[in-house]
Amino acid sequence: MRTARRTRTAVVAVSVLLYVACGAVPPIAEHKPSTDSLPFYQLESVPIVVVAKILANSSIGRPRLSKWDSHLWVQLYRAQLRIENVLRGPVMRGNNIQIYYFAEVGTIGGPPRLGMTTAGGTWHIYDREIFFLQTDSGVLRTTCDSLHFCAVPIFTGAHPELKDTSEAPIPHKITDVLLTRGRGCRDQELIKAIQQAPYFDRSYAIKKLAELARTETPEVRKAACDALGALGHACFEGSAMR
C-alpha cells in the first residue's frame, strides 16, 4: 500500500512539474460558477485537500472571456504553495507545489474573490489556507473558481503534530485544523478562528468548541461559549469568562 501511495504521489509531482518546467499555460478553463461547487457541498468527491502556506502568486497569460458568460472576463493565476499538512490525496508534506485557479477581472468591490487582496481577494503572502484541489491537464487546480470560499483560511497557526496518515473523517481533520490552537497562535487569532470557521461537521465542531470552552484562556472560553450559544448548544458550566 505504501509503495502504491508513493507511486501515485510521484505521478502527481511529475505531471505538475512538466508545466512548471516548460512555463506553459495549461489548457484549462474555469469551473462553472455555482455555489454547488464549493468544498462544503462536494467534500467527499474532492481528491486532494491540503493545508498550505502561500509563497507566491502571479497572473498567467492575458484575461479571457469566461466559458460560461460572454460578458465576463476571467484571469488565470498560479500560486506557489508549501504543503504543511495533507488531509487527503497523493501529495507529500513539505513539498512546494504550483496550483492554478481563475478569478473574475473587473472593478474590485462586492464579495471577496478567490486570490490575493491586490486582486480583490483575501490572501496575503505567507497566509495559510486549506486548499481543495484536483488534477486537470497535467496540473493541480482548485476544485472551484472565483469565490473566496473555494479555499478556507486558517488562523490557528501551524499544526506539525497532525498526522497525514490519520484515518479520521475528512470533515473532522479540517475542523481540527480550524479549531485547535497551533504553533504561534495568539488568543486574538484563535478567537477569530472561532468566529469565522465554517462548519464542515456541525456536531464535531460543537465538540471542539466545548473543548475550547473548558480548557482555554478566559477570552477564548468566552468566544467559544458565544459560538456554542449561536448554535443553540449550552456552554460548559463555569467556562464563560466572569
How many Cβ atoms from other residues are within 10 Å of residue 227's Cβ?
24
Q: Are residues 202 and 241 in the same domain?
A: yes
Q: What is the mean pLDDT of residues 87-99?
A: 93
- The pLDDT score that the predictor gives to residue 163 is 80
Instruction: Indicate the pTM of the whole model.
Output: 0.87
Report the domain count for the chain. 2
pLDDT digits (tens, 9 = 90+) for 134-180: 999 999 999 999 999 999 999 999 999 888 777 899 999 999 999 99
Share of the chain above pLDDT 70, in %: 86
Q: Are residues 218 and 175 in the same domain?
A: yes
Q: Which grid cell sits at 78?
A: 498560479
Residue 5, pLDDT > 90, answer no
Q: Are residues 176 and 144 in the same domain?
A: no
Q: What is the Cα–Cα distance from 74 to 9, expressed in whole angstroms?
A: 31
DSSP annotation string for 109-176: -SSPBSSBGGGTSSB-TT-EEEEEEEEETTEEEESS-SBGGGEEE--S-B-TTS-TT--S-HHHHHHH
- Enclosing domain of residue 57: 2-153
Location of C-alpha cell 491586490: 118
Q: Are residues 134 and 171 in the same domain?
A: no
Q: Are residues 31 and 137 in the same domain?
A: yes
The domain that holds 130 is classified in CATH as: 2.40.50
Of 94, 125, 153, the last residue of a domain is 153
